[in-house]
């Protein structure tokens, strides 16, 4: 359920904000899909270009053809093609190339932008703090188990550095790189890394500033967790992760301003 909910952002956000997935759906030219015909055809063209980029291994910086070539290839007019360009650029897939003839160049999606979109979408549909902590626990319990079995010296240094930074940060909500995000980065699983960054971002945005006593408790738990990973103690790291996140959930450390809105989720 949580995976499906989070996955929806890719089809629900464009540069202007939140839009329906059908607007960027896989309709083909000439079908009677919802929305303006040009938008439908442009979405189809964008999907074909996306599929081509993925099939070619996402060659960042490579030109995909001039505007005239792409018009001929897809059999659409210039307004439709430029709308497809806008869709692709809003998704950080490709961008128009300036100059005579124009064209399209493959770009690399920025992780920070994807995280921002995901956070905004989840704020839009609303979520309960229990939802966030449930997903967080599932991901991080899996991550610490993998990391404890194969962490190297560089990873150990990164985790211990993240713990040390906690002692100097005035407000923990301002700490972007944390023990949790480093666990996600070091485990080598791009899904875990991305989603741990997203839940971490949400916890920072909606987090309640902890008291000094809570900060000390949190820091101690992080030290214990890191040392369990370093020692290769899989079960210990998993137990400490569950204990930490369960305690945060019980303490209502998030100030979630709006509960989930079923009507907004149904638009996916």
N residues, the chain = 268
Q: Which domain holds residue 185?
A: 112-250
Q: What is the mean pLDDT of residues 220-231?
A: 97
Among the candidates 67, 85, 106, a domain finishes at 106
Lowest mean pLDDT among 29-38, 99-108, 200-209: 29-38
**Beta strand ranges found along 22-67 (DSSP E):** 63-65
- pLDDT score for 127: 87
* CA dist 111 → 17, 78, 195, 198, 216 (Å): 18, 31, 11, 10, 31
pLDDT, tens digit, for every residue of 109-154? 988 888 899 999 998 888 888 889 999 999 999 999 999 999 999 9
Q: Take residue 163 and report the two structure tokens written for it.
A: 């713990």
Question: How many other C-beta atoms are found inside a 10 Å radius of the C-beta of residue 259?
Answer: 11
73 shares its domain with 120: no
Residue 37 located in a structural domain: yes
CB 129 within 8 A of CB 115: no
CB 89 within 8 A of CB 95: yes
Tokens 């607007």 sit at which residue?
A: 23
Residue 73 located in a structural domain: yes
Residue 246 has pLDDT above 90, yes or no: yes
DSSP designation for 172: G
Among the candidates 91, 106, 121, a domain finishes at 106
In degrees and rounded to multiples of 5, residue 207 shows phi and psi of -70, 150
Q: What is the CATH number of the domain that holds 53?
A: 1.10.10.10
Task: Count the helices and strands in the chain (H runs, E runs).
Answer: 12, 5
Residues 146-179, buried b or exposed e (16+ Cβ, 10 A)? Answer: bbbeebeeebeebbbebbeebeeeeebeebeebb
Torsion of CA 52, 55, 57, 59, to 10 degrees: -10
Residue 9 has pLDDT above 70, yes or no: no
Q: Domain total for the chain?
A: 2
202 shares its domain with 96: no
Residue 63 has pLDDT above 70, yes or no: yes
């Amino acid at each position: 359920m949580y995976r499906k909910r989070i996955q929806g952002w890719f089809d629900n956000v464009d540069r202007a904000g939140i839009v329906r997935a059908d607007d960027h759906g896989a309709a083909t030219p000439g079908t009677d899909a919802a929305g303006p015909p040009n938008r439908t055809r442009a979405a189809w063209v964008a999907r074909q270009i996306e599929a081509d980029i993925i099939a070619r291994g996402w060659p960042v910086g490579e030109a995909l053809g001039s505007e005239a070539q792409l018009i001929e290839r897809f059999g659409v007019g210039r307004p439709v093609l430029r709308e497809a360009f806008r869709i692709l650029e809003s998704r950080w897939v490709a961008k128009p190339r300036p100059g005579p003839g124009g064209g399209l160049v493959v770009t690399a999606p920025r992780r920070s932008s994807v995280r921002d979109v995901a956070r905004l979408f989840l704020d839009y549909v609303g979520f309960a703090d229990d939802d966030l902590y449930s997903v967080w626990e599932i991901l991080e319990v899996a991550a610490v188990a993998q990391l404890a079995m194969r962490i190297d010296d560089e990873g150990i240094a990164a985790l211990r550095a993240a713990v040390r930074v906690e002692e100097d940060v005035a407000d923990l909500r301002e700490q972007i790189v944390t023990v949790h995000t480093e666990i996600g980065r070091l485990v080598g699983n791009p899904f875990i890394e991305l989603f741990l960054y997203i839940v971490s971002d949400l916890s920072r945005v909606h987090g309640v500033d902890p008291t000094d006593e809570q900060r000390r408790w949190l820091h101690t738990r992080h030290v214990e967790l890191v040392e369990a990973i370093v020692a290769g103690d899989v079960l210990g790291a998993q137990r400490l992760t569950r204990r930490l996140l369960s305690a945060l959930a019980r303490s209502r450390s998030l100030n979630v301003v709006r509960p989930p809105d079923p009507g907004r989720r149904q638009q996916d």
